[in-house]
Amino acid sequence: MTNHFDLSGRVVIVTGGSSGLGKAMARGLADYGARVVIAGSDPVKCAAATDELHAQGYTVIGVPTDVTQPAAATTLINAALDAWGRVDILINSAGVSQNAASLEMSPEEWRRVIAVDLDGAFYCCQAAGRAMINGGGGAIINITSLSGMLGYANQAAYCAAKGGLTMLTRALATEWARYNIRVNAIAPTWFYSPISAHILDDPSQLAQKLKSIPLGRFGQGDDIVGAAVFLASDAASFVTGQALCVDGGKFAMLGEW
């Protein structure tokens, strides 16, 4: 029987791949045979993550990348092409969050979130899309958030960026289908990661946030891997323009809140 989840020989680029969910997905896709390019904004963390996966037997290279710069996105894609001659999968996982009252948010805070979470994803999609067209197709996965579908107080920039990324996903899916490029998104809820630890490790917030998740727990890195492998693989060959909620049922029970 054909293994529709087999990614052997395919080249995947994971932005934000040096830590958190990005690192989990980089390792997860490598488990299914992919060759991985880890992109991270911190050269030290990028090198450490690359060395770690390489030591575990995976085929991986690291490329320090500031996704907010279009030229850097092009350099990232070219690094994959130089190494393996193709780009099959792009996962846009680079992201930052903010917690600031909208009336007090500075222009710099606003622009920082939009620049990384939305602009950076577009630049990487654009550069990867050109390579994928030349290669006959590919799959793009944008890591958005439930915050891209819902409104949260003190999260205006993050909600706007992730909402924009959700719509960018749908727009590119319709535009690039003719090139055999599938574009989907994953919308997680609370996951344990470096950017959420300060909240999830706070007992005063923990119980309240758990009440909104029917499965009764927060996500772990492995919980997002299955969704990423599915959307990257031939198992999802007829799936494009979708935002898959990996949220323990949170979005489904909103009517009760």
For the chain, domain boundaries: 11-243
Tell me the pLDDT tens digit for each residue of 12-51.
999 999 999 999 999 999 999 999 999 999 999 999 999 9
- 11-243 folds as Rossmann fold (3.40.50)
Tell me the pLDDT tens digit for each residue of 70-116.
999 999 999 999 999 999 999 999 998 888 899 999 999 999 999 99
Look at residue 139 and tell me whether its pLDDT is greater than 60.
Answer: yes
Tell me the pLDDT tens digit for each residue of 171-183.
999 999 999 999 9
- Residue 257's pLDDT is 46
Look at residue 200 and tell me whether its pLDDT is greater than 70.
Answer: no
Strand spans (E) along the chain: 11-15, 35-40, 60-64, 89-92, 138-143, 181-188, 243-246
Q: Is the pTM of this model over 0.85?
A: yes
Strand spans (E) along 112-257: 138-143, 181-188, 243-246
Does residue 32 have an active-site annotation?
no
Q: Which of 32, 58, 123, 158 is catalytic?
A: 158
Tell me the pLDDT tens digit for each residue of 149-159.
888 888 899 99
